[in-house]
Amino acid sequence: MKILKTALVAAITSLMATGSVLAATDLKINTWDGYITPELSDKFTALMKEKHGIDVAVKIHNVASQDEARPALLSGKADIVTSPQNIPKDGRHRLIKDRLLLEIDPAKIENFAKIMPALQKPDYMVKKGKLYGIPLIRGPFAIMYNTSLMDKPDSWNVLWDPKYKGKISIPGDVYDALIYSVALSEGVSREDIFDISKIDTPKIRAKLKTLAENADNYWSGVATAGDAMGLAMAPSWGFAVPELRNRGENWKMAYVKEGVTGYVDNLFVGGHVAEDPEKLTAAYEWLNFSLSDEYQTHIVRYLAATPVTTSVKDVLTPEEISDLYLDDPDHFKKNIILWQPVNKRVSDGMKAMWRSASASVVEKKLAAAEVRRNAMK
């Protein structure tokens, strides 16, 4: 018996030395800045411990580009990635085609029924009847504007009004959304803005160059309060609106008459997660947690974005419901042009357009954004 006890103690000591006892299960999530707060992460880890007896460490990586999803899944550096609707079937990313994603079983997600019907099984996440993700958040790429400096804009062309020269922040990396907006300002139809032959024209190139040169700074990833504060406008997702209001500036979002493009960001689980039962349990619980009223309220109040569930309306204020048009179930479909997958020729063409437009000022504008962000810390 003594020998057995000695062997058992030695085995436990060895396991503890290698970190195998009580080691937390890492859940690595690639997401956009602001999508996950420390408070949400802490609540999830507590939920996992209480419900499943599993210690989970949520490892968050805030991405700078949607191009990070594929390499992160291939390398195993991410267990869950956050990507817009144009990515999973895009010929350059091939997340579904190359079997990088876990097939999702809705029966394992208690809150799945809360998802608005149009987003439960959209075409961009389904192949041969199999589902590969769930929606998290949606919204427009529209004009975020400072109400103390200007009236609500009704056209993209306000970006070229001389009185706003030097008073605008624009994206330095999300150039595709910016180019679509410039094309819309020139009367290109909603269907044609994804056709490089229709948007790569001398006039659109000239307008893009003027905008690139007249901007105060270029934001990266998402526009922050630091990028926009004190300025008049920022074509963006609008995530900075709550923080700008907290800092004393009243900003709002404007849907303009030519139309605005937009996104549905989704959660996709890497196929490799199926090999680890605890990680798989944690991944499914994270998907469920993201659809909870608490998380979806965070999307509204922290990011000023639109939720993807129907039940969250019950905990929102009448003003919040009105600002996000949640009483009109068709508003999003009627007013937002969802980005479409594009091939390499189109992608390379837009990249060339942006490089040509910004070449002479890009370093200066990115540096200006960095100075602004540091000043706000």
CATH number for the domain spanning 131: value is: 3.40.190.10
Please tell me whether residues 118 and 199 are part of one structural domain. no
User: How far, in Å, CA of 170 to CA of 361, rounded?
Assistant: 13
- pLDDT at res. 20: 45
pLDDT in tens, 209-260: 999 999 999 998 889 999 999 999 999 999 999 999 999 999 999 999 999 9
Provide the Cα torsion 212, 218, 223, 226; round to 10°.
-130
By the 8 A CB rule, do 82 and 266 touch? yes
Please tell me whether residues 270 and 362 are part of one structural domain. no
Helix spans in 18-113 (H): 38-52, 69-75
- What is the pLDDT of the chain when averaged over all its residues? 92
Kindly state whether residue 234 falls inside one of the protein's structural domains: yes
20, 51, 60, 81 from 48: Cα distances, Å: 19, 5, 17, 20
Kindly state whether residue 317 falls inside one of the protein's structural domains: no
**Mean of pLDDT values over 266-286:** 98
Q: In degrees rounded to 5, what are phi and psi of residue 300?
A: -75, -50
Please tell me whether residues 363 and 228 are part of one structural domain. yes
- Neighbour tally for 375: CB within 10 Å: 9
Please tell me whether residues 7 and 37 are part of one structural domain. yes
**Residue 2 pLDDT > 70, yes or no?**
no
pLDDT in tens, 134-186: 999 999 999 999 999 999 999 999 999 999 999 999 999 999 999 999 999 99
Please tell me whether residues 165 and 98 are part of one structural domain. no
- pLDDT at res. 367: 86
- pLDDT at res. 19: 45
- pLDDT at res. 323: 87
- pLDDT at res. 362: 86
- pLDDT at res. 278: 97
Please tell me whether residues 201 and 339 are part of one structural domain. yes
Q: Helices (H), strands (E): how many in the chain?
A: 14, 12
User: How far, in Å, CA of 15 to CA of 366, rounded?
Assistant: 49
User: How far, in Å, CA of 184 to CA of 199, rounded?
Assistant: 9
- pLDDT at res. 221: 85
**Residue 55 pLDDT > 80, yes or no?**
yes
- pLDDT at res. 23: 83
Please tell me whether residues 195 and 342 are part of one structural domain. yes
Kindly state whether residue 330 falls inside one of the protein's structural domains: no
User: How far, in Å, CA of 301 to CA of 90, rounded?
Assistant: 31
Q: Which residues contact 288 (CB under 8 A, 6 or more apart)?
A: 109, 110, 111, 112
- Neighbour tally for 235: CB within 10 Å: 26
Kindly state whether residue 88 falls inside one of the protein's structural domains: yes
Counting the structural domains of the chain, the total is: 2
Burial 61-99 (b: 16+ CB within 10 A, else e): eebeebebbbebbeeeebbbbbbbbbbbbbeebebbeee
User: How far, in Å, CA of 253 to CA of 33, rounded?
Assistant: 19
Kindly state whether residue 345 falls inside one of the protein's structural domains: yes
Please tell me whether residues 243 and 168 are part of one structural domain. yes
Domain span at residue 116?
A: 2-136+264-306
Please tell me whether residues 161 and 210 are part of one structural domain. yes
User: How far, in Å, CA of 160 to CA of 209, rounded?
Assistant: 11
Give the 3-state secondary structure of residue 31: strand
Please tell me whether residues 109 and 191 are part of one structural domain. no
Q: Output the six-digit token pair for 212.
A: 């690139």
Please tell me whether residues 47 and 131 are part of one structural domain. yes
Rounded to two decimals, the pTM is 0.86
Closest to 367 measured CA to CA, from 145, 217, 202, 194: 217
Please tell me whether residues 131 and 25 are part of one structural domain. yes
Type and span of the H or E element at 252: strand 251-254
Kindly state whether residue 174 falls inside one of the protein's structural domains: yes
Give the 3-state secondary structure of residue 255: coil
**Residue 377 pLDDT > 80, yes or no?**
no
Kindly state whether residue 321 falls inside one of the protein's structural domains: no
The answer to whether the Cα torsion of 39, 55, 21, 277 is positive or negative is negative
Kindly state whether residue 326 falls inside one of the protein's structural domains: no
pLDDT in tens, 12-43: 455 444 444 458 999 999 999 999 999 999 99
